[in-house]
Structure 1
Amino acid sequence: MARVVRFRDEVEIIPPSSSSCFPAAACNLLKMAGNKITGAVSHLLHGAAHCVHSVATFSGNVWWVFKDVIRPSPMSSLAWTASFPFFLYGYDVAIQDSTFYLRHDLHLSGSELAVYLTCTGRVGYAVGAVAAGVAANYFGRRYVLAAGGVLYTAGTLVVTFTSGYVESTVGRALACFGVGMGLLVGPIFIAETAPSTTRGYHGTFPQVLMVVGTITVHVLDLAFLRVPRHLAWRLMLGVSALPTAYFTYAVISRRFTDTPSWMAMRGQVRAAEVLMERCGASGTESYDRGYHLERLARFLTCHVPDPHADRFPGRITGFWGDVFHYADDYPRDAFAAAVLYVAQEAMFEQMALRLVPTVLTRHTLVSRWSFPIAGLVLALVRLAATSISMHVAGRSMARRRGLLLVGLGVSACLLGLLSGTAFVDAHEHLSSEMAFALTSVGLLALEAAVGVGPGPVPWTYGPEVLPLTVRAPTLGLCLTFKFASGVLLGWTFPQLFFTFHRAWLVFLGAAAVTSLFFLFCCRFVRMTTCRLLMDESD
């Protein structure tokens, strides 16, 4: 037993002898061991329960997504319909490889084919986006989508039954003009209609349909292998006119209405509230958004008219005044949206597809089957990654910026890896088989990284952060920068490769540019807040 000795108000505990303290020490050790074991078991059970909960949540979300795809809700039906122009965009980008046979069919020169494939398509997209940005505020998002479908159907039929270079160029310009209108209006329609609880989920629909369009082209390319090439490319173009005609009919039908925000701009506040309730918005959110929509409608109807309207009756009024009204956050958000579009066009949408022929030709794996199969595999990998992004974004918008940063960072690392493998592959005395394997894995991983963040997020960032009255015109200008950079890259990327004959140098430059985009997004791209009206009435 321990003895307590007091000396001048100080207490000293004298331990007992070793013979008497051994059982107590053993008991203490056993007690400590029992506590450790109990804590470890408790942590293990807690971790297992957390894993089971995560798996159950993931399975529940996957099952919810699967049921929504099989039997879509009203909001999902609207989102799939509004995203259909992205199917046409992916279809058009992937079908360019098949239209190379148009050169032999119509006896075109190299410059004429380059103008047909690169300049006509990108210029058509840009002009269509700018025109849609102006028209969407005046005629509504719905009718602009329908006009884009009509133009694409007419242009596709002209190209399918063409007999000359001029006719085919005009038809392709019309088709790309219609696609550009849909590329602008589709994300805006989803952002303005979907409730905040599912806006992250529905915002990934455009990227999914874009990849599905690419997969459709490769499947049709494999199906038409035994068809003569001068007929195959015409059939592949003509097939796309059938679903586009049905899309136009679906948009014009009564079930497809305009967005609540545009209805509020026209004073139809009650119809906007009914549409929000039908699309799945909760009672609180419907009330809050309805309140802001009513304030917005009152603000727009009481807006002071332009004093110079009588002097310039043909001038479009209101846009620049609204731009200066939102002078605080608008410049940064518009600049960030434009840079995200340029980054998407520069590094991601066509990088892997452009490199597949070079890699396969380098290793003598060229056949009529190799290019469609390689493109199909890349598209399937991106579709799987986009599905993961659909689950992660799910019902939370707070993860959009994180997905974008992760995708950009991983893409920069993978481009650096591809630079190293291309350097190894350029030297015959090094292991080219290992370099080919690493290049293939790197391209697949690059597609996966693109599908997670840099693919879907830029299409949804601008419609979620820009003010309502300047949203469509501003995004039209941003898409113009995107497709203008696509025209430049369509010429410079092959020229750099054929000038230096150093693929690793091009990869290294791409990795450096992607790193700059990553740093830019860390600094300027802010998290979306789901507050689409941005207090226009303040």
Structure 2
Amino acid sequence: MVSMEEDNHESPTKLNKYATACALIASMISIIFGYDTGVMSGALPLIQEDLQINDTKQEMAAGVLNLCALVGSLLAGRTSDYMGRRYTIVLAASLFFIGSIVMGYSPSYAVLMTGRCIAGVGVGFALMIAPVYSAEISAASSRGLLSSLPELGIAIGILFGYLSNYTLAKLPLHLSWRIMLGIAAIPSSVLAFVVLKMPESPRWLIMQGRIGDAKRILQLVSNTKEEAENRLRDIKAAAGIDNSVEDEIVKVEKQSHGEGVLKELIFHPTPTVRWMLIAAIGIHFFEHATGIEAVILYSPKIFKKAGVHNKSKLRLVTVGVGVTKAACVLIATMILDKIGRRKLVLISVTGMIAALACLGSFLTFINNRAESPLWALVCSIASTYSYVAFFNIGLAPVTWVYSSEIFPSRLRAQGHSIGVAVNRLMNAAVSMSFLSIVNAITIGGAFFMFCGMSVLALIFFYFFLPETKGKTLEEMEDVFSRKKKMKNRAEVDLKNMGDV
């Protein structure tokens, strides 16, 4: 039976410095991806002007990275089970390095798309592996903070991208967007070497039977020897290894390279695993179905529709989106382990609904006027910032923390990769269709549509997302077990009857 003692033996208020450093390094790959997302908002108009492409090709250039990331995320689950979490991060950084070089060179639209496809596969690997690695080296009390660092990295990267737009757009047209996209190769190459100094995930090592290596790493990422021993005992029990075994290397009976996992996840799941998969797919689906990519990628067009026409002011107000996102994700990382995943995401989506309703209303009002009144412009910008704030205070970080922590060790990488694939599919769908949707139902109508999707998201999260705060990774199957919940409820009812 899996031990429930980890939370009692660890120091819940003390953050392990070594584990934090490892999670920060792993999250650097997310900064690089975030940079690409942010910089594309300013690069797209320059690419359109330089390469003379229409709106459809512009949407394709924006969205193809996410379509390829879908492929990368599906490959990443099995890859990380086979070669380990650390080398998968190295592979992600290497692919993004190659893609950035090709994008920076880009003499034509076709070459640009090739570079974005290569980078996209790397993005898929990065988005899958960074939260999983962070979750697997973290203690239960700090897992929310460390697992949300990749989302913070994305926010910081997007802000850097916006700032790059603001500064590099002043260069000659043929250089500006190429430097914007190509410069990401520098941190990608550095990261690929730095990650090699990081330790492997102790949970992955135990799945390979490498008990001695896992024990040594757990001693580094735990605050006390007792905590490390308790974590080792829980992980061994979950992997089906007898805790009386003290050998450095043991033969693991279960398949350890991810074989047969998809069958267990999709074709013959237990009720508990099915619930986990529905929760992971649902939260990733709604993260982008609620429209955040439209705001991040096309914010200059949104603000232009609202009435900001000066190019310099347009870039400056777009930087405000990046600042808001980064600040709110930073706050979320600090409160996620205190407030809890479920409560934070419900508050987040409720605020998003209100902000999207206001944004849709103000943009519709402006769209029906010859000139935009100042108050309507200010309210549109404020509504956009409010939406970004509410999204990033809850739904953004919780999505990645939640789906990286709920699956059992043997299913975690590939289960999370399915969620990431859905995430990238929805991201691509929004980024590649937003301009067409605006042309069909107006920009105000587009945000009313996202508001409706947010209402559906709130209903889904209320019924399908149990709280996971403070639970060890080995306790998640109990959290998602309906029989366990019914038993606990019956015990409470019996106790209440006895008190009466």
**Class of the TM-score when normalised by the shorter of the 2 chains:** 0.7 to 0.9
**Matching residue of 1:257:** 199
- Mapped to 2, the partners of 1:84 and 1:445 lie a distance apart of 27
**Residue of structure 1 in register with 2:447 after alignment:** 507
Aligned equivalent of 2:72, options 118, 128, 141: 128
Instruction: Indicate if the aligned counterparts of 1:389 and 1:453 stay in contact, CA closer than 8 A.
Output: yes
User: In structure 1, what is the equivalent of residue 27 of structure 2?
Assistant: 83
Amino acid at match of 2:439: F
Letter of the structure 1 residue corresponding to residue 140 of structure 2 = S
Superposition pairs of residues 94-493 of structure 1, within 5 angstroms: 94-97=38-41, 98-108=43-53, 110-118=55-63, 120-253=64-197, 256-295=198-237, 296=239, 298=241, 301=251, 303=253, 316-317=259-260, 319-321=262-264, 327-353=270-296, 356-362=299-305, 364-394=307-337, 396=338, 399-428=340-369, 432-493=373-434
Aligned partners of 1:321, 1:217: CA distance in 2, in Å?
40
After superposing the two structures, state which structure 1 stretch, 136-145 or 270-279, moved more: 270-279
| Cα gap change, 1:218 to 1:493, in 2 (>3 Å) | closer
User: C-alpha deviations, 1:94-123, integer Å up to 9, x for none?
Assistant: 1223144234434545544433322x2112
**What is the TM-score with the length of structure 1 in the denominator?**
0.78
Q: Distance in 1 between matches of 2:475 and 2:201?
A: 16
Structure 2 spans left out of the alignment, 5+ residues? 1-11, 243-249, 478-500
Structure 1 distance, partners of 2:314, 2:260, is 51
Give the distance between the partners of 1:333 and 1:103, measured in 2 at CA: 43
Q: Secondary structure at the match of 2:405?
A: helix
The percentage of counterpart residues that share the same residue type is 19
CA distance in 2, matches of 1:453, 1:365: 29
Cα RMSD over matched residues?
2.9
In the TM superposition, what is the alpha-carbon distance from 1:497 to its structure 2 partner? Answer: 1.7
Range with bigger deviation, 327-336 or 316-325 = 316-325
Contact 1:415 1:511 in 2 (8 A): yes
DSSP 3-state at the match of 2:311? coil
2:472 equivalent to 1:527 = no
1:201 Cα deviation (Å)?
1.8
CA distance, structure 2, for counterparts of residue 304 and residue 193 of structure 1: 22
| TM-score normalized with structure 2 length | 0.84
One-letter amino acid matched to 2:100? T
Per-residue CA shift, 1:279-327, capped at 9, x if unaligned?
2344443222211223326279453789xxxxxxxx9445424767861
State the shift of 1:218 in Å.
1.8
Bigger radius of gyration among the two:
1
- For residue 360 of structure 2, what is the amino acid of its counterpart? S
Higher helix share: 2
Structure 1: how far apart are the matches of 2:297 and 2:89? 30
What is the number of equivalent residue pairs in this alignment? 457
Measured in 1, the distance between the counterparts of 2:66 and 2:377 equals 32
CA distance 1:271–1:222, change in 2 (3 Å): same
- Which structure has the higher relative contact order (CA within 8 Å, separation 6+)? 2
Q: Is contact 1:266-1:297 (8 Å) kept? A: no
Distance 1:390 1:321, change over 3 A: closer
Deviation (angstroms), 1:518: 0.5
Q: 1:349 to 1:258 in 2, by over 3 A?
A: farther
